Copies of this chain bind each other. A is one copy, B any other.
């Protein structure tokens, strides 16, 4: 059971209320993930051989028109969840691990607040990562 200290640098949700601007930025990212097609796109790209997938791989995975896939890819790219690289005629997309890790850390271990006698023992929250 190794513990990960999460709260030292980044600000998980429970640390303090998000500012309006932070919330706005994060909400944009979560909204990008708030579509089944985009979520599957991220998943497909992340799990694809070599950590990247071309648009043709994606259009083949959905029953959607090509412009629709392209639109979703743009949304994911705009919020920094994906990057693209053109090689020959094909464009390859890959996820940005740092962005996902950022979101993961934000949601991690939301203060298992033991209300009451928590005399300052709250800090140093930890995510328990498997054992």
- Which A residues lie at the B interface, using CB under 8 A? 2, 4-10, 13-18, 20, 23-24, 26-28, 30-40, 42-44, 46-47, 50-52, 61, 95, 97-98, 100-101, 103-113, 115, 124-125, 127-130
Contact = CB atoms under 8 A, between A and B. Distances in A.
Contacts of A26: 39
Contact of A128 (B61, B101, B127): B101
Most buried by B among A10, A33, A109: A33
- Copies of this chain present in the complex amount to 2
B27 A35 contact: yes
A126 to B, nearest CB: 9
B105 A129 contact: yes
